[in-house]
Amino acid sequence: MEAHGNEREPRPAQGNSPLTCIPKTPCSITPLFSLPPCLISCSIAPRSFPFGMIGILFAPFIHSSFAHLGANSIPFFVTAAVINGTRGTAHFLLLSVAICVMSGLMVWAFGRSSTVHVGVSGAIFGYVGFLCIAAAIERNVTNVAIAILVLFMYGSMLFGIFPTDEQVSWEGHLFGFLMGGLISYIYTMNTNAREQIDRVADDITIGGSTDGERQPILRKSRGGGSGRGLEEDEV
């Protein structure tokens, strides 16, 4: 995720560093990295109401350059594929919406003034946070192996949660990671929340089926060793 300076209070660019936080004053914009006004209006603008909140929905789809898009593409598709493959498409979609909305609200509330924030990296950090907390709590071989693999591949990017570069939206990275971890914790530890989320995911899955019939859904029991190994939900 990247942060761009706000035209009301322009922030000067730094030296020759890549411009990822760009003042919208004409004298200091670099054309390759600048955002057109129509895209700036769809970015997250902290504490700007109501239009600054529009970006909560649209900012993940906006990138400041092809380089920015390229840098996010592979990590996004890898982490998204892991979540989709292990949790299912419906759970992946619900998780993605929850991370983007929750982290977007946090960026809007606590992000630096005079900036706009764009990019999908908040969701990427959210996926990583979700996987790490799930592995720490559930401690099964699959989750731990997945978390280790993801951290091995992209662990260095976690430094992005620290404010080491004012031209990078570290707020988006930090809140994405925290919100993903929080969602994982609630889903794993709170039975009622998990059942409700599973029910919504089941409804999404059934609603998207083509046969029109509502079939029983089998999921692994989270109970002990006694009883049935599978639970059947009539939906």
pLDDT digits (tens, 9 = 90+) for 119-143: 999 999 999 999 999 999 988 898 8
Average pLDDT, the chain: 78
Percentage of the chain with pLDDT > 70?
A: 73
Residue 147 included in any domain: yes
Residue 174 included in any domain: yes
Q: What is the mean pLDDT of the segment spanning 190-197?
A: 92
CA distance 124 to 9: 30
Residue 234 included in any domain: no
Residue 233 included in any domain: no
pLDDT of the residue at 127: 96
CB atoms inside a 10 Å sphere around CB 220: 8
Evaluate if residue 29 carries a pLDDT over 90.
no
Q: Which two three-digit tokens encode residue 151? A: 């951290």
Residue 213 included in any domain: no
CATH number of the domain encompassing residue 152? 1.20.1540
User: What is this structure's pTM?
Assistant: 0.76
pLDDT of the residue at 40: 73
End-to-end CA distance of the chain: 40
How many domains, in total, are found in the chain? 1
Of 131, 169, 170, give the one whose Cα is nearest residue 153: 131
CB atoms inside a 10 Å sphere around CB 227: 9
Read off the pLDDT band of 34 (50, 70, 90): low
Q: Which of 21-30, 105-114, 163-172, 200-209 bottoms out in mean pLDDT, i.e. has the lowest?
A: 21-30
Domain that holds residue 29: 2-208
Evaluate if residue 218 carries a pLDDT over 50.
no
Alpha-carbon distances, residue 95 vs 12, 99, 127, 234 (angstroms):
37, 6, 8, 24
Please name the amino acid found at residue 199.
R
Residue 188 included in any domain: yes
DSSP character for 227? S
Residue 221 included in any domain: no
